[in-house]
Amino acid sequence: MRWGIVGTGMHAAQRIAPALAASATERLHGVAGSSEAKAREFAQRLGAGQAYPSLEAMLGDRAIEAVFIATPNDRHRRQVELAAAAGKHVLVEKPMALDEADCRAMIAACARAKVKLGLGFHLRHHPVHREIRRLIDAGELGEVVLVRGEWHTAYGPWQNWRADVRRAGSDVTGAVAVHVLDLMGWFAGAEVRDVAALVDRSKETGLDQTIACALGYANGVMGTASATRRAAWPLNSVQVWGTRGAAGGIGTVGANLPGKLRRTSGAGVEERVLPMVDLFAAQFEAFARAVQRDEEPDASGADGLRSTALASRILAAAA
């Protein structure tokens, strides 16, 4: 599949363009940024193919089959709607949008145009996480009782658009917590029913810098999650406890961390390191397969809506 990248920021440069270059099946055809100069510099530096003078110019190129949107959060809705109207499949970086209304509009636009809409939840493609999901589906952990996840990191107050709540919506919740929440919901297999949360806000920006929450899912599973930008040298993990055993990813929650699988049962404790893949390349390849098979992507627009709604509930519960 031939891709266009919308956005020339750090994530697009460090993760997305290299992932497309590393993929055996996906091809980066071009890039569009906030200016033609930025697109040209990005294309030259990263070998990103054609530099388009505008998003509209990219969408008018019949060679482009799908676009990855890696722009500020407040731009996602309009760009997805434009891409859908042009007949392009869309994979959009999380968070999907600023609010549920925008998410629903994006889903509707793609449905009308009969194009696929996916979310950039790369952690669903981690070999350890996929093995945990397989164990759950196979009944090897029994009935799931509890799930837990965390993404802790260390960075200073933002100096760009992320410091503006009108453009970003949130700080650590939208930046990293949504990945953990999506993964936990994927393991729990149900919608969140109850939310209790605590949020610590930055004095500089007023935005969330640490969150901790307890979740109750509609099927009775309970979960706890935390995220912060104030913890150095973390070991970020996810864990599932069931009535017949437990399984977790130790050091697997992050950008491209290998980590290991830890499984406990009546036989004792087993730890394994599984063969690692480029999670972002795997994300593109899985999306392309969904398009070819006319299936919903691994993380769909509905999953993006669910994630945005849950993030809003967590921040509101804390307030």
| Whether residue 314 sits in one domain with residue 185 | yes
Nearest to 251 by CA among 74, 114, 128: 128
- Kindly state the average pLDDT of the residues 151-162: 92
Give the pLDDT band (50/70/90) at residue 200: very high
Nearest to 246 by CA among 150, 145, 130, 151: 145
In this predicted structure, the answer to whether residue 318 has a pLDDT above a threshold of 90 is no
What CATH number is attached to the domain comprising 308? 3.30.360.10
Runs of H (alpha helix) within 115-253: 127-137, 165-168, 172, 178-188
| Whether residue 169 sits in one domain with residue 63 | no
Residue 91, SS3?
strand
Structure confidence at residue 235 (pLDDT): 94
Structure confidence at residue 307 (pLDDT): 96
| Whether residue 63 sits in one domain with residue 39 | yes
| Whether residue 196 sits in one domain with residue 161 | yes
| Whether residue 137 sits in one domain with residue 180 | yes
Decide which of 99, 122, 145 is a domain's last residue: 122
In this predicted structure, the answer to whether residue 171 has a pLDDT above a threshold of 90 is yes
Decide which of 66, 95, 122 is a domain's last residue: 122
| Whether residue 156 sits in one domain with residue 115 | no
Domain for residue 295, yes or no?
no
Structure confidence at residue 204 (pLDDT): 84
| Whether residue 144 sits in one domain with residue 60 | no
| Whether residue 72 sits in one domain with residue 55 | yes
Give the pLDDT band (50/70/90) at residue 23: very high
- Predicted structure pTM score: 0.95
Domain for residue 76, yes or no?
yes
Give yes or no for a contact between 20 and 45, defined as CB atoms under 8 angstroms apart: no
- Kindly state the average pLDDT of the residues 192-211: 95
Domain for residue 286, yes or no?
no
Structure confidence at residue 311 (pLDDT): 97
| Whether residue 61 sits in one domain with residue 138 | no
| Whether residue 169 sits in one domain with residue 62 | no
Query: How large a percentage of the chain has pLDDT more than 70?
Result: 100
Long-range contacts (CB closer than 8 Å, 24 or more residues apart) made by 81-84: 81/105, 81/106, 81/109, 82/55, 82/56, 83/6, 83/59, 83/115, 84/109, 84/110, 84/112, 84/113, 84/115, 84/117
- pLDDT single digits (tens) 251-296: 999 988 999 999 999 999 999 999 999 999 999 999 999 999 999 9
For the chain, the average pLDDT equals: 96
What's the token pair of residue 107? 């889903």
Residue 99 CA: distances (Å) to CA of 214, 306, 310: 22, 11, 10
Which residues neighbour 183 within 8 Å (Cβ) at sequence distance 6 or greater? 121, 123, 124, 129, 149, 238, 253
What CATH number is attached to the domain comprising 101? 3.40.50.720
CA distance 46 to 18: 8
Decide which of 79, 94, 122 is a domain's last residue: 122
In this predicted structure, the answer to whether residue 220 has a pLDDT above a threshold of 90 is yes
Domain for residue 130, yes or no?
yes
Tally of domains within the chain: 2
| Whether residue 162 sits in one domain with residue 67 | no
| Whether residue 137 sits in one domain with residue 109 | no
In this predicted structure, the answer to whether residue 216 has a pLDDT above a threshold of 90 is yes
For residue 233, give its domain range: 124-277+300-318
